[in-house]
Amino acid sequence: MLNFVVKRSLPLLWSVAALSFSSCLGPHKVNKWVAQHYSEEPPLSQRKKTESIVISSALSEMGGKRSETQKNTRDLLPLLFYWQFDYRNTCTLNPQIAIDNFTSSLLAYASHGLKQKLNGNRLELTVEQIPRVFVVDDKGHIIWVIVTMVGWERLSVQPEQKDMVVSWRLVGSNNEELKKGSITIADQERTLTLGMFKSLRNLTKEHLSEYDANIGAMTRHFVDRLITEL
């Protein structure tokens, strides 16, 4: 949804005010929202384990912090009668959040045919790639008509479309490799746009909830595919 503003005042003052307001959202605030969303989750990497299914990650670790966010300005165009700005806060979630979600979702779904397929063998899974980046985007325009300012902006949360890639090995009782392969699951996340009566904080929380559900759904699709390949 586009938010429109019409003002009559000094061009320079309103331009500075508009840009200052739009740029107030920073990495600290986005990281705070992420931390609040996952505040009731157990500490990272304290997840269920099983002897027959071993899950590891090839992704770089981020320690105990939930996210890292970087801010950049793109398409800043301050002309005499037209201003354009695009403030982007790019947030990278700790990969362990997705790995923990993947692990719990897989173990909960393993009874739907996967455990039976193992037939007493050990399954080794390595998460090579998984979605974990989103952008809180504030894009706006300001047009000057004599002393009247007409401005509009579009605020959204945009996921980075990235597939889930998991390699797997089936190992026998004597540690011999029986089968191996790699499975790719497409990312189905969607962009959320700020509407009326909703804050950017709540929009970010909505995205994170959809992100969590999406990782769970992708994991179940992975298990279904894996059963057919074992």
The radius of gyration computed from the CA coordinates of the chain, to the nearest angstrom, equals 23
Contact 122, 51 (CB under 8 A): yes
Per residue of the chain (230 residues), give pLDDT as tens.
555 444 444 444 444 444 444 556 889 999 999 999 998 766 666 555 677 999 999 999 898 899 999 998 866 555 567 677 788 999 999 999 999 999 999 999 999 999 999 999 999 999 999 999 999 998 877 776 666 766 667 889 999 999 999 999 999 989 999 999 999 999 999 999 988 778 999 999 999 999 999 999 999 999 999 999 99
- Strands, E, within 23-66: which ranges? 53-57
Question: Structural domain boundaries of the chain?
Answer: 2-229
Query: Cα(69)–Cα(91) distance, rounded to whole angstroms?
Result: 4
Q: E-strand spans in 186-228?
A: 192-193
> What Cα–Cα distance (Å) separates residue 52 from each residue in 49, 116, 121, 192?
9, 11, 7, 39
Nearest to 50 by CA among 94, 109, 131, 96: 109
E strand intervals along the chain: 2-8, 53-57, 67-73, 77-78, 82-93, 122-129, 133-145, 148-159, 164-171, 177-185, 192-193
Name the residue among 35, 87, 28 with its Cα closest to residue 208.
35
User: What pLDDT, in 10s, does the model give residues 175-184?
Assistant: 999 999 999 9
Pair type for strands 148-159 and 133-145: antiparallel
Q: Distance between CA 97 and CA 94 in Å, rounded? A: 6
